[in-house]
Structure 1
Amino acid sequence: MMARNIVCAVLFASLAVWSLAAAPAKKSTAKINLVAASASAYKPNPLADAQVGPNDWNQWAGSPVRNNVATAKNIPAEWEVGDFDDDDKWVAGSGKNIKWAARLGSQSYGNPVVANGKIYVGTNNGAGYLKRYPAEVDLGCLLCFNEADGKFLWQHSSEKLPTGRVHDWPLQGICCAPLVEGDRLWFVTSRGEVACCDTEGFHDEENDGPFKEEKSTDKDEADVLWYFNMMEKLGTSQHNMCSCSVTAVGDILFVNTSNGMDESHINLPSPDAPSFFAMDKNTGEVLWTDDSPGRNILHGQWSSPAWAVIGGVPQVLFGGGDGWLYSFLGDRTADGKPQLLWKFDCNPKESKWALGGRATRNNIIATPVIYNDLVYVAVGEDPEHGEGIGHLWCIDPTKRGDVSSELAFNVKDLKTPIPHRREQAVIKEQGEVARPNPNSAAVWHYSETDANGDGKVAFEESMHRTIGTVAIADDLVYVADFCGLVHCLDAKTGKPHWTHDMLAASWGSPLIVDGKVYIGDEDGDVTIFKLSPELEVIAEINMQNSVYSTPIVANGVLYISNKGHLFAIQADGK
């Protein structure tokens, strides 16, 4: 169960890196850079003007393709956090290359977003910014700060659900990142809601509607335009935590509902409820829903959607709680129903789901990434389940149907695939076998490799479970796993270049910027690598508390949040 941690994210004999035939509103305005995705190939173009600055970071990973790569220069590789007073506030001017630091809650897992002069980050209420909610009151909080100096501006407060930890685990706060366009912001609350807010809060002295029932309209409170309650309107039941970093293209907002198991980890309360849906970002109207994972959900669903135009077709990608990656037409549909393009089982067919971390079948918690018209995604589990086997895939998204690497059959009928089963797709004892799928879209798969040729697979030669998302630049793929290994691979072939052991679990994802790769770990260290197929550690800097989030860069400033503070890092601290 991811949220409790976000107290809070077939083994091959010798080589598990293999390659198939690789397939070839009111603010300053700047179009979203879709990096590898060519939105112009799709007519009409659904990609709306994001109404943010050209160097802002307005959503998780910076764009709908979810590749956490920035174009800034002169980003520091050296800093010192500095000192804190008795109230846990950063002492201004202390440290090195720290522009400012803002206090967060007692546990912080959300990734920061920067747009139009403001910074937003999810956390809990440990900082107690609002008088009506002292720090002892447990809330899910989205905080808004001034970009220039870190001054607190306003807070959205999500009170705990009366159902308790089964839906809303204590102290977890808001674990997702919002989406910002112009003066509007969308995010998923810990109460299972999609919320649309005014980025000004009540600083503009207006209560925007249609929702006008805020308990307070003080300037430090959030101004909500509307809520969409997924539990009430879609019948969903999130497992411990509702968390999805939404994305939007044009007027369409894409959301993962977090529908999952109950606290027994055996019963699925809402098997027919949607896992994924599209909605009108202006009105909250549902455009289409999909329940593909259905009764095969293993645990919870906490992945976030990605979107790109590939081969002239807009695709929205959702990682399912059943371990499958799904692609749908990333647009409105004429009949109001989802149009599935393809699906891919990201686990070997003989893998098996089990409680207590013993599973070899995994969920998808990471976000899929699109790079050069290929899709990259890794599997993992709730960190509380511990370490285990992992898999990283590169997938050709131009194929259609079931494009998994394998299909399941009974030996008595090798022409008719067996329908997928939740716990285990292939059970050898029942005369079942896995066979290569002739329609497979797998370009390559990385799980383990005998890199040094000694006939053994060492710890450092294995991919483990991860809740982190890959980052890709210069045809180099970087991903950190929950065992603390950072992997660097060739984006075209999946060949591993190197691994590095950070000696602590990594919950976050890499940032690539300025020829460097930044990644944090549970010990509070941020390791900085040279962007290179050769391993070169530039620095290892301690943040004085666990780093569960992902570093970002906006407008030439590096932002890193540890468990309790958000730091703005810039050369000379200016």
Structure 2
Amino acid sequence: GGENIRWRTELPGRAWSSPVIDGDSIWLTTAIEQGSAEEGPPPPGGRKPQPRSVAEAVTFRAIGIDRRTGNVLHDVELFTVERPQPTHVLNSFASPSPVLAEGKLFCQFGDYGTACLDTSTAAVVWHNRSQRLNHENGPGGSPITWKNLLIFHCDGSDVQYVVALDAATGKQAWRTDRSGEMRDNPELKKAYGTPLVTTINGRDVLLSPAADWLYGYDPATGKELWKLSYGVLGFSIVPRPVVADGIAYIGTSFMKAELLAVRLGPTAALQPEILWRYGRSVPNMPSPLLVGDAVYLFSDKGIATCLDAATGEVRWTGRLGGSFSSSPLLADGKIYVGSRDGEMFVIRPGEDLDIVATNNFGEAIMASPAAVGRAVYVRTERALYRIEQ
């Protein structure tokens, strides 16, 4: 049995960013491509490139939708980039998800630029393109807000750093270069991670996964507090960190993904330690999900795994089928996870794999869903849906 579709709103452009909820509105970003095509012959230098999409120009937009009716309230042009760097064909030009704070929508598109929108007036407050880097495959990681700062990763093949902008003006507040030794191949230096602020013994710490290293920074200043090697090759990091009971769960992504359970120090400045690691069918792209005392993993190839969060012991594994890029969401006591094949699985957490419903949208799901109460909002490659039991 499927969930009931309350409404469907067609979306312009092509974008994998997730929707964010602001009261009775939902905001999402999109990218309108002009003159797009698949890339021609590989660049000189012998590296075998990934299949990539090129465009003559891309216009970045923010769309505000009434979450009760699905009506489009705002469609705002943020900025246009001429000859943007190409993206991987599996990626989009607008994959990083926006973030809301205090009536402002912050839209960060990696090298293409950053914009701030006032959600009440739909006016663009500021935009800049001051952070430049080579993503190789287009941008991926999302920004976060902390106090008066917008913080995001710039982990390219050419430069690797984390940066904070003043949320009011868009001006750079601090920037910290990655200090960990990396591999020589530029491909292995890049990452698409999203940071997370957690509290360790009363002090806020920015957890920041990059290629080969997890960093801890002071979010106010960007000062590095510590760094922890994954102990394995880990690059093109995608999953965001999740934290519970003083343990951070970190995915190392490529080549062979591992999930690391990292015990954070008793104080912010103390080096954490790896408690356990798990390496079977760990997702390269979807983030882990914590529910109670369990970690749920949904691999890119459609394998679901439930681990004991404290020990890493396997409680169960099962096959969903299909392939996955987006992350799972816990809503109304159930797990929602969508596949690139257009299926949304609804799973009851527990002692075995219990699929309570599936919805087939017939359109790829690359974005993670959002929820309010019993309503779940699903972005597919073509539209935004509201589903409800």
Q: Which TM bucket (shorter chain)?
A: 0.7 to 0.9
Tell me by how many angstroms 1:393 deviates. Answer: 0.9
How far, CA to CA, are the matches of 2:360 and 2:368 in structure 1?
Answer: 15
Deviates most, 156-165 or 283-292: 156-165
Match of 2:67 in 1: 147
Cα distance 1:525–1:195, how it changes in 2: closer, same or farther (>3 A)?
A: same
| 1:348-363 map, 5 Å | 348=232, 351=233, 361-363=234-236
Deviation by residue 1:499-534 (Cα, 9 ceiling, x = unmatched)? 121222110111122332111111111122211032
| SS in structure 2 at match of 1:365 | coil
**Contact 1:139–1:171 at 8 Å: present in 2 too?**
no
Tell me by how many angstroms 1:168 deviates. Answer: 9.6
How far, CA to CA, are the matches of 1:197 and 1:238 in structure 2?
Answer: 25
Deviation by residue 1:348-390 (Cα, 9 ceiling, x = unmatched)? 2xx4xxxxxxxxx433211111112211111224xxxxxx522
**Higher RCO, Cα 8 Å, sep 6+:** 1
1:444 to 269, 273, 276: 276
**Contact 2:200–2:267 at 8 Å: present in 1 too?**
no
How far, CA to CA, are the matches of 2:179 and 2:323 in structure 1?
Answer: 29
| 1:188-227 map, 5 Å | 188-189=108-109, 192-202=112-122, 223-227=123-127
1:524 to 342, 345, 351: 342
| 1:19-98 map, 5 Å | 78-79=2-3, 97-98=4-5
1:260 to 151, 156, 166: 156
Match of 1:279 in 2: 165
How far, CA to CA, are the matches of 1:475 and 1:303 in structure 2?
Answer: 25
How far, CA to CA, are the matches of 1:168 and 1:503 in structure 2?
Answer: 23
**Contact 1:98–1:570 at 8 Å: present in 2 too?**
yes
The one-letter amino acid paired with 2:203 is V
TM-score scaled to structure 1, two decimals? 0.58
2:21 to 114, 125, 134: 114
2:365 matches 1:492:
no
How far, CA to CA, are the matches of 1:506 and 1:394 in structure 2?
Answer: 22
Cα distance 1:146–1:556, how it changes in 2: closer, same or farther (>3 A)?
A: same
1:478 to 278, 296, 321: 296
How far, CA to CA, are the matches of 2:310 and 2:66 in structure 1?
Answer: 41
1:364 to 227, 237, 240: 237
How far, CA to CA, are the matches of 2:81 and 2:318 in structure 1?
Answer: 41
TM-score scaled to structure 2, two decimals? 0.84
1:538 to 356, 361, 365: 356
Tell me by how many angstroms 1:494 deviates. Answer: 0.8
Deviation by residue 1:383-428 (Cα, 9 ceiling, x = unmatched)? xxxxx5220011112168999xxxxxxxxxxxxxxxxxxxxxxxxx
2:103 matches 1:183:
yes
How far, CA to CA, are the matches of 1:236 and 1:122 in structure 2?
Answer: 21
Match of 1:18 in 2: none
Match of 2:37 in 1: none
**Contact 1:479–1:488 at 8 Å: present in 2 too?**
yes
Segments of structure 2 that go 5 or more residues without pairing to the other structure are: 34-55
**Contact 1:366–1:466 at 8 Å: present in 2 too?**
yes
Larger radius of gyration: 1
Deviation by residue 1:471-517 (Cα, 9 ceiling, x = unmatched)? 11111111211121111111111111111212221101111223321
How far, CA to CA, are the matches of 2:156 and 2:167 in structure 1?
Answer: 24
**Contact 1:466–1:480 at 8 Å: present in 2 too?**
no
**Contact 1:103–1:566 at 8 Å: present in 2 too?**
yes
Segments of structure 1 that go 5 or more residues without pairing to the other structure are: 1-76, 80-96, 127-135, 203-222, 262-267, 352-360, 382-387, 404-438, 448-461
Cα distance 1:169–1:245, how it changes in 2: closer, same or farther (>3 A)?
A: same
Cα distance 1:148–1:137, how it changes in 2: closer, same or farther (>3 A)?
A: farther
2:11 matches 1:104:
yes
1:329 to 189, 213, 218: 218
1:566 to 367, 376, 384: 384
The one-letter amino acid paired with 1:328 is Y
How far, CA to CA, are the matches of 2:14 and 2:128 in structure 1?
Answer: 26
The one-letter amino acid paired with 2:253 is G
2:265 matches 1:398:
yes
How far, CA to CA, are the matches of 1:324 and 1:393 in structure 2?
Answer: 12
| 1:229-248 map, 5 Å | 229-231=129-131, 235-248=132-145
The one-letter amino acid paired with 2:30 is T
**Contact 2:348–2:355 at 8 Å: present in 1 too?**
yes
The one-letter amino acid paired with 1:308 is T
Tell me by how many angstroms 1:315 deviates. Answer: 0.6
Match of 1:36 in 2: none
**Contact 2:144–2:195 at 8 Å: present in 1 too?**
yes
How far, CA to CA, are the matches of 1:493 and 1:565 in structure 2?
Answer: 40
Match of 1:123 in 2: 30
Q: Number of matched residues?
A: 363
**Contact 2:201–2:266 at 8 Å: present in 1 too?**
no
Deviation by residue 1:524-550 (Cα, 9 ceiling, x = unmatched)? 111222110322222222111111121
How far, CA to CA, are the matches of 1:543 and 1:488 in structure 2?
Answer: 26
RMSD over aligned CA atoms reads 2.8
How far, CA to CA, are the matches of 2:90 and 2:313 in structure 1?
Answer: 42
**Contact 2:7–2:386 at 8 Å: present in 1 too?**
yes
Match of 2:177 in 1: 291
The one-letter amino acid paired with 1:227 is H
The one-letter amino acid paired with 1:397 is L
How far, CA to CA, are the matches of 1:118 and 1:318 in structure 2?
Answer: 30
How far, CA to CA, are the matches of 2:11 and 2:172 in structure 1?
Answer: 33
Deviation by residue 1:5-24 (Cα, 9 ceiling, x = unmatched)? xxxxxxxxxxxxxxxxxxxx
Match of 1:13 in 2: none
**Contact 1:106–1:124 at 8 Å: present in 2 too?**
yes
Task: Answer 1 or 2: which has greater helix percent.
Answer: 1
**Contact 2:264–2:272 at 8 Å: present in 1 too?**
no
Cα distance 1:191–1:364, how it changes in 2: closer, same or farther (>3 A)?
A: closer
How far, CA to CA, are the matches of 2:350 and 2:192 in structure 1?
Answer: 31
**Contact 1:346–1:391 at 8 Å: present in 2 too?**
no
Task: Answer 1 or 2: which has greater strand percent.
Answer: 2
